[in-house]
Amino acid sequence: MHQYTQFYINGQWVDPVTPRTLEVINPATEEACGVISIGSEADVDLAVAAARKAFETYGYSTRQDRIDVLASCVSVYEKRLNDVAAAISEEMGAPKKLAVEAQAMAGFGHLQEALRVLREFDFEEDLGPHRVFKEPIGVCGLITPWNWPVNQIGCKVAPALAVGCTMILKPSEVAPLSAYVWTQIMDEAGVPAGVFNLVNGDGPGVGTALSQHPDVDMMSFTGSTRAGTLVAQNAAPTVKRVAQELGGKSPNIILDDADLEAAVTRGVLHMYNNTGQSCNAPSRMLVPRAKLEQAEEIAKAVTASVVVGDPQADGTTMGPVVSELQFNKIQALIEKGIEEGAKLVAGGPGRPEGIDKGYFIRPTVFSNVNNEMTIAREEIFGPVLVMIPYDSEEEAIRIGNDTPYGLAGYVQSGDIEHARKVAARIRAGNVHINGASGGFDVPFGGFKQSGNGREWGAHGFADFLEIKAVEGYAA
């Protein structure tokens, strides 16, 4: 049982102002695996004051100073990578292989990429006799989710450190263990006191206090669209910048000239990755109507190959969803799909056969779905794929874009030029052709209600920078 009841403020581990604790539940066992403190406005005030004071020096640090800080973070993180992975597996049920090779490695990748970008990033630009400076925005409030906990910490903290910002991190209270390990890494790496601060808590308490705080210059939030709008509303009176990475209901358009076996297989397996708990999951598979029955058979066979079970067991490919709340929500949506007349191809309600404990979901495929059904509109955030038939390419593109979200899109085709033309018409921040996936240097973010701003790589620096023009600089 992990006892993580202190916060990290001004380079020190400190007790909360008002003691209040919360158990962290292991979703595979439904048993407590840790205890954290839940912070308050008073704890936020202390952390913001520390960050504001630290910005007086770190905000004017040299590029080399920040290179040294990031290089140290990379070095310490590499030593602690397996500890990060173990925490992720315990707190949100990621299978061992996924926890190490995808989840924990993502945090490492963002630190490495921020260090690479920082070495060559142009913080100044001359326009005739005038000079434009890109300066750190100041004190940043960072709110991160439970589904890719360290990935989202890394893609916020790393660029903030790189450009000279100071920050307060509020990780998800559902999966806070890996954030604690991350904070230990920051401490061991020698990040200057007050530059990085951690306050655990919930949205109504710590999240609201951060968003409203007049000494916080920007908020970077990843989570649901509902929560993201609350952050923006709370931030509005102080006119602070708000960067948001929110929900998705991404279309996966399988064109008539695609290799159907490869495309459907790829799409189904991607949907089950991280137990479907990814905002950019290809959750709506659009298939030519004439090929729908064949696509169903492929999807059913692929689903049967998924090994659901103990995240610590060798061979497990899909763990539980993160919490009882998520389990119940997903079960209700599966029942809703059946009630609304969708064809159940695989899976369905209840836990997988032989499992009677833990928040495990049967990997599920629905077909003959239309885009007005609840399961086609709502972000299920679990291992539930919906297959939607279409009669023409124009209809596929229309259905693909018929969503309030716009985080990702997927296009499968045997002709790259064909795929490019369809990709150009998808209203989403990231479009993947034939399963391609970007590296840590490729910008990530969405259109419409999937958010604003971009994370990852050089594009991820922008939200943490202010632009200052000094006219007559060369005179």
- What's the rounded Cα separation, in Å, for the pair 236 and 6? 30
Question: Which contiguous run of DSSP H or E holds residue 284?
Answer: strand 284-288
Q: Quick one: pLDDT at residue 4?
A: 98
Contact of 403 with 376, CB cutoff 8 Å: no
Active site residue 188: no
Q: In the chain, what percentage of residues exceed pLDDT 90?
A: 100
| pLDDT tens-digit readout, 56-68 | 999 999 999 999 9
| pLDDT, tens only, 293-335 | 999 999 999 999 999 999 999 999 999 999 999 999 999 999 9
Which of 91, 245, 296, 455 is an active site residue?
A: 245
pLDDT in tens, 167-193: 999 999 999 999 999 999 999 999 999
Residue 340 sits at the vertex; the CA angle it makes with 334 and 343, to the nearest 5 degrees, is 70
| Interatomic CA distance for residues 431 and 422, integer angstroms | 10
Closest by CA to 462, choosing from 155, 81, 126, is 155
Parallel, antiparallel or unpaired: strands 384-390 and 465-470: unpaired
The domain made up of 251-439 has a fold known as Aldehyde Dehydrogenase; Chain A, domain 2 (3.40.309)
Residues of the chain with CATH 3.40.605.10: 2-246+449-470
User: Which of these is catalytic: 73, 140, 155, 279?
Assistant: 279
CATH 3.40.309.10 placement within the chain: 251-439
Estimate to the nearest angstrom the gap between the alpha carbon of 453 and the chain centroid.
14
CATH topology of domain 2-246+449-470: Aldehyde Dehydrogenase; Chain A, domain 1 (3.40.605)
Secondary element (H or E) of residue 132: strand 130-136
pLDDT at 387 over 90: yes
Cα angle: 382, vertex 386, 390; to 5 degrees: 155
Which pLDDT value is given to residue 429?
A: 98
pTM of the predicted structure, to 2 decimals: 0.97
Whether residue 400 contacts residue 406, with contact meaning beta carbons closer than 8 Å, is answered with: no
SS (H, E, C) 160-207: HHHHCCEEEEECCCCCCHHHHHHHHHHHHHCCCCCCEEECCCCHHHHH
Active site residue 279: yes
As a whole number, the mean pLDDT across the chain is 98
Residue 475: pLDDT band by 50, 70, 90 thresholds? confident
- For residues 186-202, give the mean pLDDT: 98
